[in-house]
A = this chain, B = another copy of it.
């Protein structure tokens, strides 16, 4: 095969990935846990192009160069090295995630790219191998390879990949308050946390402990405990970030208003908890039966979409692959 198309979805972490132990290998300082969503897919086609001198990238219909092309090209180098093929590729990607606003478009992007590139270059990879590969493009892409709830293990290159975790069903209400580009990229903010936040070492150890608690809560099907750990871990990540020098604040007034509304809903008996990645958007988790009520309550405050557990990355057949 010299052309393949893959589709992947973003994931939202309940226990956050924040901080690398190895930048080049994209190895996280701690494990993390997420749910892959069923909304905002990225569809990516990779086609080998023997007549080209270099890789080309089309993002959302526009030719992309600069840093985005470099990142894709460096990633394709990993695939080519493994496949023993030096042919450049044409990459065409369509992303439905609002870019750079705290929802992980890079996760779905590199998960889809990993699967499409591996197939186009003739590699046959297990789910764990694909997750390891996607990790090299963008850490959290390791998790978007896996359907539903996934744990991404810390560790060395060989064993840092994501795996499925049995968990009770819950929904995510994605509240988008600001789809603009962030002032400080999460890559830069993560680096700043590692280098300057006095809370970073304790963030790493406390997150490792929370991950173990979260895995136990998932096993036990204890939604309350899952929710409490989710909200606490998110607040700790943002605490670590805002303790950096100079400080970075991702949660704006509109974000905090959603955290407050979520807390008020809990007080009213609708059990929901909030989390937020490195951006202003907030995601509420709730039991599936409560998701519509949570979405209704948040709609006056933000653009709202309800997501369920989504599929892992998959290759599209010719009939589906209009990308």
Determine which of B239, B245, B247, B256 lies in contact with A243 in the assembled complex, contact meaning CB atoms within 8 Å. B239
Can you list 7 residue pairs at the A/B interface with Cβ under 8 Å? A198-B236, A199-B199, A199-B203, A199-B236, A232-B246, A239-B240, A253-B257
List residues 177-202 of chain A with CB under 8 A from any CB of chain B: 198-199, 201-202
Residues 235-263 of chain A: 1 if any B CB is under 8 Å from the residue's CB, otherwise 0?
A: 11011101101110101111111011000
Asked whether any CB of chain B lies closer than 8 Å to the CB of A205, the reply is yes
- What is the oligomeric copy number? 2
Interface residues in A, total, Cβ within 8 A: 30
* A243 contacts across to B, CB distance below 8 A: 199, 206, 232, 235-236, 239
Other A-B pairs, 13, CB within 8 Å; known A232-B243, A232-B247: A198-B206, A198-B236, A199-B202, A199-B239, A202-B202, A235-B243, A236-B242, A238-B239, A249-B256, A249-B259, A252-B260, A253-B256, A253-B260
The docked-state distance in angstroms from the alpha carbon of A259 to that of B248 is 12
Residues 106-129 of chain A: 1 if any B CB is under 8 Å from the residue's CB, otherwise 0?
A: 000000000000000000000000
* A254 contacts across to B, CB distance below 8 A: 253
The docked-state distance in angstroms from the alpha carbon of A206 to that of B251 is 23
Chain A interface residues toward B at CB < 8 A:
198-199, 201-203, 205-206, 228, 231-232, 235-236, 238-240, 242-243, 245-247, 249, 251-257, 259-260
The docked-state distance in angstroms from the alpha carbon of A260 to that of B236 is 21
Across the two chains, which residue of chain B brings its CB closest to A205?
B198
The answer to whether A256 and B247 touch across the interface, beta carbons within 8 angstroms, is: no
Chain B nearest Cβ from A274, distance in angstroms:
11
Across the two chains, which residue of chain B brings its CB closest to A206?
B198
The docked-state distance in angstroms from the alpha carbon of A249 to that of B257 is 12
Chain B nearest Cβ from A50, distance in angstroms:
51
Closest 10 CB pairs of A and B: A239-B239, A198-B206, A253-B257, A199-B199, A198-B202, A253-B256, A253-B253, A235-B242, A236-B243, A239-B243
The docked-state distance in angstroms from the alpha carbon of A251 to that of B255 is 12
The docked-state distance in angstroms from the alpha carbon of A236 to that of B198 is 9
* A238 contacts across to B, CB distance below 8 A: 239, 242
* A203 contacts across to B, CB distance below 8 A: 198-199
The answer to whether B247 and A251 touch across the interface, beta carbons within 8 angstroms, is: no
Across the two chains, which residue of chain B brings its CB closest to A198?
B206
Chain B nearest Cβ from A99, distance in angstroms:
22
* A202 contacts across to B, CB distance below 8 A: 198-199, 201-202
Chain B nearest Cβ from A67, distance in angstroms:
25
The answer to whether B256 and A252 touch across the interface, beta carbons within 8 angstroms, is: yes
Q: Knowing A202-B198, A202-B201, A239-B239, say if A251 contacts B246 (CB, 8 Å).
A: no
Chain B nearest Cβ from A136, distance in angstroms:
30
Chain B nearest Cβ from A307, distance in angstroms:
24
